[in-house]
Amino acid sequence: MVDQQAELSWTEDRIPVSDRFDDPYFSLENGLAETRHVFLAGNSLPERFRPGFHIAELGFGTGLNMLTAWAAWEGAGMTGPLRFTSFEAYPMAPGDMARALAAFPELGPWAERFLKAWTGARCDLGTLQLDVVQGDARQTLPEWTGRADAWFLDGFSPAKNPELWQEDLLTHVANRTAPGGTVATYTAAGFVRRGLEAAGFAVTRVQGYGRKRHMTQGVLP
């Protein structure tokens, strides 16, 4: 069990910043648009959605990525559950999640349904089966027996949170990816790209969001 909670400060624009990692939880420009560009389009979603689709994520944070994916899933007319597993070492208090998510009124209906049901580990909301695995992903991911069709790699910046980007963790990501499955991340850091390649992904550097020139996509052959 984890007894460490996220410790936050807030910018004037109401963006949460981690005190531990000295890094914002999402883009200072437009978190929702960045999530759509990097994690949805980066994994060819919603086009690849099909019944039983499973997304996994490193770093649950505010739940913004999950809510964006869930809204896209329902928007694509999917009626069964989207499976979403996220690995999180320092869970955010629900009140802080609510405060952060209030910046995205477009996601309001999904945030409300999620926050009503959220007790901190698992919830089943009909079209969403969410599992947040608490603990350091370096310990919890190797023990995970699931298999994801798409991964959202969303640690804090590799310079500030290098443990979430190291090659052996990326190898565990590859081991827990379905054949033909994908990864996407906002970073184009060379050591992350090389780590994904060493893990077995075919890696491409593509256009990033906003001020970030590049981001990274990978496919498991």
Residues that bind ligand SAM (CB under 6 A): 6, 25-26, 59-65, 87-90, 136-138, 154-156, 161, 163-164
- By C-beta, is 38 or 199 nearer to ligand SAM? 38
- By C-beta, is 136 or 197 nearer to ligand SAM? 136
- By C-beta, is 50 or 154 nearer to ligand SAM? 154
- By C-beta, is 53 or 90 nearer to ligand SAM? 90
For residue 76, the minimal CB distance to ligand SAM (Å) is: 20
For residue 145, the minimal CB distance to ligand SAM (Å) is: 18
- By C-beta, is 51 or 218 nearer to ligand SAM? 218
Residues 140 and 58 sit within 8 Å (Cβ to Cβ): no
- By C-beta, is 67 or 199 nearer to ligand SAM? 67
For residue 152, the minimal CB distance to ligand SAM (Å) is: 7
Inter-residue long-range contacts of 121-129, CB under 8 Å, 24+ positions, other chains counted: 124/81, 126/81, 127/70, 127/73, 127/74, 127/78, 127/79, 127/80, 127/81, 127/82, 128/66, 128/70, 128/73, 128/81, 128/82, 128/84, 129/81, 129/82, 129/83, 129/84
For residue 187, the minimal CB distance to ligand SAM (Å) is: 11
How big, in percent rounded to 5, are the helix, strand and coil portions of the chain? 35, 25, 40
Distance of CA 39 to the CA centre of its chain: 8
For residue 164, the minimal CB distance to ligand SAM (Å) is: 5
- Between CA 31 and CA 82 the distance in angstroms is 22
Strand, helix or coil at 126? coil
Reported in sequence order, the residue ranges of 15-124 that DSSP labels E, i.e. its strands, are 16-18, 23-24, 54-58, 82-88, 122-124
For residue 126, the minimal CB distance to ligand SAM (Å) is: 21
Judged on CB neighbours under 10 Å (0-12, 13-18, 19+), 50 is: exposed
